[in-house]
Structure 1
Amino acid sequence: MLVKLFRNASLPQCLSMCVLLFSALFSQPWRAMPKDNQENLDFAKSYQPRNKEAQHLRILLNGPAGAGKSSFINSVDSVLQRKITGRALTDATFGSSFTRRFRPEHPLTESDLGYNPSPTLDEKVQVLVSVVPADTLPVLSDEIKNKMKDIRRTASDMGIPQLAVITKVDKACRKARQDVKNVYRSKYLKRLVDEFSAELGIPVNCIFLVKNYESEIKTNDDTDALILCALRQMISFGDDFLRNL
């Protein structure tokens, strides 16, 4: 929808629309955020699976290269450690990622390293999280979208709960870059969420906006709040899935 709007407009119209889209704010946030992160932080730190067959909650991050999957892992770790960490390697020089690539045309076989034909419950994925970048989401290719839909269908067939995380909100929205508290007041980001929800079929209340820690050397309460809200919902969904088993 956003691409069509710009395609049919003149250059001055495009510039005017950009100003409106990237700067317009709702008077009130369309999603309430906690005033204090401590409850969500305590919940995440103290979580233990209620199903005794699982020692860990396994969350699979799925998304295009450069979406911010490794950065999100680092950001979660930074929030929990209350300091900036770099446990999941990212390659800032070449813009590539150290996370694994998914190739549906070449599914894993018994000859692949690490292939497990009979995983235990503790070794299976309990939550699928689709990760996409806000700054390039409007021009995400159909190939990538279809690949993500295929993965979602497979997860749905297995009963695995699913959420989505939209990263790089500060790069997509000027108001969010100025103040991360504007993330859920941004009309542009709300439109991105609505369109992404319609495209992939993920409910809006299962889509979370986050800003990863990339250039910062200290954590920030407002950035933490976004990450913790997404993390808590992942844990809740995953624990419900384990408990139902």
Structure 2
Amino acid sequence: MGGALFSKPWRTMPQNKQENLDFVKSYQPRNKEVEHLRILLHGPVGAGKSSFINSVESVLRGRVTGRALTDAISGNSFTKKYTTYKIHKDPENIYSFIFNDIMGFEKDDTEKAKEKDTKGGVEVEDVKLALSGHVTEGYKFIPKHKLNQGDQGYNSSPTLDDRVHVLVCVIPASSLSILSDEVLKKMREVRLAASEMGIPQLAILTKVDEACPEVKKNINNVYKSKYLKEQVDKFKCSWEFQ
């Protein structure tokens, strides 16, 4: 972990934050066959996917919320089911985008599997099925077992609304340097599958305050942190060349 800072930010942020927030609040999908833009979050166990959903909901609702349950202690995936989160504008209406949380990726560690019964987290093939809309809401992921046609939880006739429209990779800055090659390979495989389907993608770095003491002191130092800049560049290289 490092605390050195650049004199100037290494990334420029949009100046008109309110304008961007207004756009998000008023967004409507252009395709009439799509009621909601479906955003799938994926990444390693403990990356903070559920916390990110809570943060977005808190900003949009103007108060702190915690509907997506989190667990930062156990070390294995807290999310077991394919869960959809819809954020309410008011009691009767929801925003035109929804989040899907999914079980995290883990290294296939036999000893760890015996101790915690995690067996490597979510299967890559199950995430690919989710991308194409074949996983139903509430399906409980079974490590080492791929969801197959005919299984309970398999959607044999997905609509355009069931499919994933945006893929978001969530990565913890505090443990990026110790992510296994195996987990990175799984994430890249999902990324390539999404690319073939024409699904736009982006990556989010979480837990930045745990990774850099200067950021913990002042969140405005995020884009001045030399350590975080190094982590971003490192992840970009591993993401592209794994």
Flag whether TM exceeds 0.5 (same fold): yes
2:170 counterpart residue number:
131
For residues 32 and 199 of structure 1, the distance between their equivalents in structure 2, rounded to whole angstroms, comes to 24
Residues 87-133 of structure 1 deviation map (CA, whole Å, 9 limit, x = unaligned): 21223563542253321353321233331122111110011111110
Match of 1:182 among 221, 227, 230: 221
2:78 counterpart residue number:
97
Secondary structure of residue in 2 paired with 1:58:
strand
1:147 counterpart residue number:
186
- Unpaired runs of 5+ residues, structure 2, are 80-100, 104-121, 125-143
Secondary structure of residue in 1 paired with 2:223:
helix
Is 2:111 the partner of 1:72?
no
Match of 1:63 among 24, 33, 43: 43
The list of structure 1 runs, each at least 4 consecutive aligned residues, that deviate by more than 6 angstroms after superposition, is none
C-alpha spacing 1:42/1:165, structure 2 compared with 1 (3 Å)? same
Match of 1:156 among 158, 179, 195: 195
| Amino acid of the structure 1 residue aligned with 2:221 | N
% identity of equivalent residues: 59
Aligned pairs (5 A) from 1:1-245? 22-92=2-72, 94=74, 96-98=77-79, 99-101=101-103, 102-104=122-124, 106-201=145-240
For residues 73 and 37 of structure 1, the distance between their equivalents in structure 2, rounded to whole angstroms, comes to 19
Secondary structure of residue in 2 paired with 1:164:
strand
Conserved? CA contact 1:70–1:97, under 8 Å: no
For residues 16 and 186 of structure 2, the distance between their equivalents in structure 1, rounded to whole angstroms, comes to 38
- Unpaired runs of 5+ residues, structure 1, are 1-17, 203-245
Higher relative contact order (CA 8 A, sep 6+): 1
1:85 Cα deviation from its structure 2 partner: 0.5
Conserved? CA contact 2:41–2:167, under 8 Å: yes
| Amino acid of the structure 2 residue aligned with 1:103 | E
Secondary structure of residue in 2 paired with 1:72:
helix
> How many matched pairs?
182
Conserved? CA contact 2:46–2:72, under 8 Å: no
For residues 80 and 26 of structure 1, the distance between their equivalents in structure 2, rounded to whole angstroms, comes to 32
C-alpha spacing 1:75/1:198, structure 2 compared with 1 (3 Å)? same
RMSD (Å), alpha carbons: 1.8
1:10 counterpart residue number:
none
1:84 Cα deviation from its structure 2 partner: 0.5
Secondary structure of residue in 2 paired with 1:87:
coil
Residues 120-147 of structure 1 deviation map (CA, whole Å, 9 limit, x = unaligned): 1111001111111001000101111111
Residues 124-180 of structure 1 deviation map (CA, whole Å, 9 limit, x = unaligned): 001111111001000101111111011111111111111101100000001111111
Secondary structure of residue in 2 paired with 1:75:
helix
Secondary structure of residue in 1 paired with 2:31:
coil
Conserved? CA contact 2:43–2:171, under 8 Å: yes
By percentage of residues, which structure has more helix?
1
For residues 29 and 93 of structure 1, the distance between their equivalents in structure 2, rounded to whole angstroms, comes to 33
